Structure formats: C-alpha cells, structure tokens
Chain A
Amino acid sequence: MNPVKGIRAIGAWAIGFIFGLGAFARLLGLVLLRSGAALRRPGLVSQQVHFIGNYSLIIIAVSGLFVGFVLGLQGYYTLNRYGSEEALGLLVALSLTRELGPVVTALLFAGRAGTSLTAEIGLMKAGEQLAAMEVMAVDPVRRVLVPRFWGGVIAMPILAAVFSMVGIIGGWVVGVLLIGIDAGAFWSQMQSGVDIFKDVANGVVKSLIFGIAVTLIALYEGWNARPTPEGVAKATTRTVVSGALVVLGLDFLLTALMFSN
C-alpha cells in the first residue's frame, strides 16, 4: 500500500472523527439550549418517558431477573468456599447497584430504546417530516429531539433501579428459596453493607450519565442518518455499536473516579 495514501486515510479518519465529535457536542448544546421552551410542555416529555421507558420495561425486568439468578449462583459458589454465604445478599446488591444495574440497563437501553429513537428520527427525516416541521415554523430540535432526550435521561435511572430491584429478587430466589441461605442474614447484610451515597447514589449518577450519552447518540445518529432505508439501517446499527462502546468506556472512567480511594 502506498504510504502516502495510508497517511492520508489516517488523516481523513482523524478529521472525520473530530468533525463528528464537534457535531455531537453541537447537538448536545442545541438540545440543552432549547430545553427551556420544550420543558414548559411536560406532556411531551412524559409521553416520551412512557414510550422509551415503558416499552423497555419488560426486557429490563426479565434481564434483571436472570442476572440476579446468575449472581446468586455464582456468588454462592465463591462465598461458600470461605463459609460466608450469608453475605450473598450484600454481594448481589452491591454488584447490581454499583455496576451491573446501570451498565447492563444502558446496554439494553441502547439496543431497545436507542435503536427505535434512531429509526424513528431517521424515518421522519426520510419522509420529509422534519423539513415539514421546519417549514411550519416549528423547530424540530425543540419539538422532536428535546422531549426524546429528556425522556431518555429520565427513563434510564428508573429502568436501572427496576433492573437492580428485580435482580436482587432474583438473587433472593436462588440464594434463599433454592439454596436455603438464611433470609434474615441475606437481607440484614445487605441493609448494613449498602451505603446510600457511595453505592446507590453513585449508581444513579452513572445511569444518568449513561442516559445522556446513549439517548444523545441515538438522536445524533437519527438526525444525521442518510434519508434512505439503507442509511437508516446503518444509523441504527451505529447507535448500538457506539452506544455500547461509550457506555463501557464511560463506566470505566466513572468507576475510577467514584470508587478510587
């Protein structure tokens, strides 16, 4: 391969990446700047919380239950070696609230709600609906993007909380009902070991940040999709790939920031 071509390709990729970051930041700025007027119509946001949140509830709850089951089994396997299986409740609760709840919810959210947001906005663009709105003197950022953005940001921590809650129930079913760990020990260890700020609040902050990132990626991809069936399909795929990578990258950064010391 011609080295000049190679360098040129790297340069083009770098410029494209920086351009994309700029466009992404600009969209975030636009959405935040235009949030005021849209939030004066809370009906639009609550409608989106319903669409984005309610329709993701089943997949989140079912996944949470199975993750809880697995945590119960794997946790018991490890703790049993040290004779501390009573700490299973604490292990399940901490794993879910600190890490698995926000992260797995965000990954599932990118796959379920993120793709539907991208496809919806991409198809609105392809069907000239966004152009029609603009010509009707209605700002599509304010009317379409802002309610969906806040809908996603509000829905994510709620979904993560549901995930963790159902996961804990799953851990309890396996640990207490199936394996026979003492129920009192299971719950009391959890109660005394989980800190509302260090564990629960930090988990909520994580899921809020994931909510902002994943929802904005979904909106950005839909907004910039080529207005063709192929363009919308590619944008939808990019939402899942970028969403998942950003969630995992951010999770590492946030974990390092929150739980280091």
Chain B
Amino acid sequence: MELDASQSKDPLLDFSGVALGYADFTVLQDIDLRVYRGQVVAMMGGSGSGKTTLLRGATGQITAQRGTITAFGRNVATVSSDELRKLRQRMGVLFQQGALFTDLDVFENVAFPLREHTRISEAQIIECVLDKLNAVGLRAAAHLKISEISGGMARRVALARAIVLEPELILYDEPFAGLDPISLGITAQLIRGLTDRLHCASVLITHDVAESFAIADQVYMVGQGRLLASGKPSELAESADPYIRQFLDGQPDGPIAFHYPETPAFKQWLDKQRGRP
C-alpha cells in the first residue's frame, strides 16, 4: 500500500533535529524523520551505524542529547513514567536477538503481553496467541521450550509477541536477520500485510536492501553519524549519490570506509604490543 505522508495528519513518530548517543559519545546527530500511520518505513545503514540507537530513542530507553522525539504526539523525554508506559503499550518491538523469556515456553512468551495488559479470558488468550503463531508459521510449536527452538524460529516467535497486542506502531530491529529465504519472504509480506490490515505504522531497522525496498513506503539511510538520505525506495534506487550507490550495490570501495578508522588509542595500544615506549 503506497500512502503519501501528506494524507496522514500527525506522525506517530517524529524525530526533530535529534542527536542520540551514550554518555558523552554521540552516535547520530541532526536526525529528522517522520513515520505516519499506514506506512512501512525502513531505516537502513551499515553495521554500527546507529540504527538500533534510533530504535532505543523511539522507545524512550535513551533520551535525545539534542532535539525532540515525539511518539503519538507526546515528547518521550518529558512524559511521566506512567505516560511513557502507556505510550509503550501502543508500541510493539521486535528485538534484534528476540529477547524471548527463557523461563516461559513459546505460547507463554506470546501470551505475555496479553496477560500483563489485558483482562481477556483464557480461551480468548489461547485463540489470539495461536492465531499470531499461525501467522508466523509456528502454531504447532506453541508447546516447545525456548531452548528447543532454532534461532530463526525464536525470531518468528518474537515477531508474534511484538504484534500480539496489535499495536499502532511496530518497531522491528533486524527482522530479516537469521531467517531462511522462505521465512524471509513470508516475514516481509507479514509486516506489509499487518501494517495494511491494522493501519498501523511499521519501522524496520535493517540492512537487507531487497526485502525492505520491496515492502517499504519510505526509506531513511543513516551512516557517518547522520542521516545520509531519505525517500521512496524507487527514488533511492535511482539515486546517483555515491553513499547510496555504495550501500545499495554493496561495493567495497566508496565514501563509506570498510576499515574502522585508526585512533590514537589504537596506535598507543599497538606500540605497547610491539614493546615500544
């Protein structure tokens, strides 16, 4: 579904002039992005470019060093902890490593948000959880322990858990990592289908170009500590910008350095290793 940003009134997620980082270290700065209802937005960038930091900013796990992050019209840095909890109830998050609860089985992991936030009957919980597990192809794995399922299955269970409350904003951190080609295609279509059916917004943190370009309405590309480009997938695919071309074509040489830059600390360490003063 192609939905023009101007059709939706207010963005569900809004970053305005945001700088994000940890302690004194800034990972990303001058980030401006908007996510509207009904959109699938892909945040792309290489490993270590700060994509996950963006997600942490959106959920209020870290606060912006500069600028404002607004979710559902509320500034996540200034809301009370109760309000932040209410905002988070309207979000679903798929963690990079799944973050499944290892003391619970597959069924209970997916049922967890329902048990914590709703008062629905056990029969409704069973129906709802099996429905979501069915959507990710794991209905018959409901009884298994987390230690008994593979990494790819764990990510699909985590996906089912992220969508079980049918949230308005779903944040997916690397949803395609570790999936086989069949699961990958189905997951991509599931994300697109869910966004259309629930009329929610989906944010994909990913570096998988083909799958995300196939389902995204808007793509933001981050790297070098800032927002490098944004636009519709078709616009970015035709772009001649060397940063975008290098990333999309997977070229080893270009403005994005493959090698981690040498720092004075590294040189000092190397000298010490070689026994020089």
Contact = CB atoms under 8 A, between A and B. Distances in A.
Interface of A: 120, 123-124, 127-129, 131-132, 134-139, 143
B101 A135 contact: no
A123 B97 CA distance: 13
Contact of B99 (A120, A128, A137, A143): A128
A138 B86 CA distance: 10
Nearest to B116: A138
Nearest to B89: A137
B85 interface: yes
Interface string B30-67: 00000000000000000000000000000101000000
27 contacts: A120-B103, A123-B102, A124-B101, A124-B102, A127-B97, A128-B95, A128-B96, A128-B99, A129-B99, A129-B101, A129-B102, A131-B61, A131-B95, A132-B99, A132-B101, A134-B61, A134-B88, A135-B59, A135-B91, A135-B95, A136-B113, A137-B88, A137-B89, A138-B112, A138-B117, A139-B85, A143-B116
Contacts of B103: 120
Contacts of A134: 61, 88
Nearest to A128: B99
Contacts of A137: 85-86, 88-89, 116-117
Interface string B71-113: 0000000000000011011010101110111110000000011
Nearest to A142: B116
Contact of A136 (B96, B102, B112): B112
B216 to A, nearest CB: 23
Contacts of B97: 127-128
A90 to B, nearest CB: 45
A136 B110 CA distance: 12
Interface of B: 59, 61, 85-86, 88-89, 91, 93, 95-97, 99-103, 112-113, 116-117
Contacts of A123: 102
Given A120-B103, A131-B61, 6 more contacts: A127-B97, A127-B99, A128-B95, A128-B99, A132-B101, A137-B116
B136 to A, nearest CB: 17
A223 B113 CA distance: 22
A129 B100 contact: yes
A134 B81 CA distance: 11
A137 B96 CA distance: 18
Nearest to B103: A120
B61 A135 contact: yes
A134 B84 CA distance: 10
A113 B102 CA distance: 18
Contact of A135 (B86, B93, B100): B93
Nearest to A127: B99
Contacts of B91: 135
Contact of A127 (B59, B61, B102): B102
Listed from nearest, the 3 A-B pairs whose CB atoms lie closest are A132-B99, A137-B88, A128-B99
A30 to B, nearest CB: 12
A110 to B, nearest CB: 21
A240 B107 CA distance: 35
Contacts of A124: 101-102
Contacts of B113: 136, 138
A134 to B, nearest CB: 7
A162 B223 CA distance: 62
Nearest to B60: A135
Given A127-B99, A129-B101, A129-B102, A136 B116 contact: yes
A136 B103 CA distance: 17
Given A128-B95, A143-B116, A136 B88 contact: yes
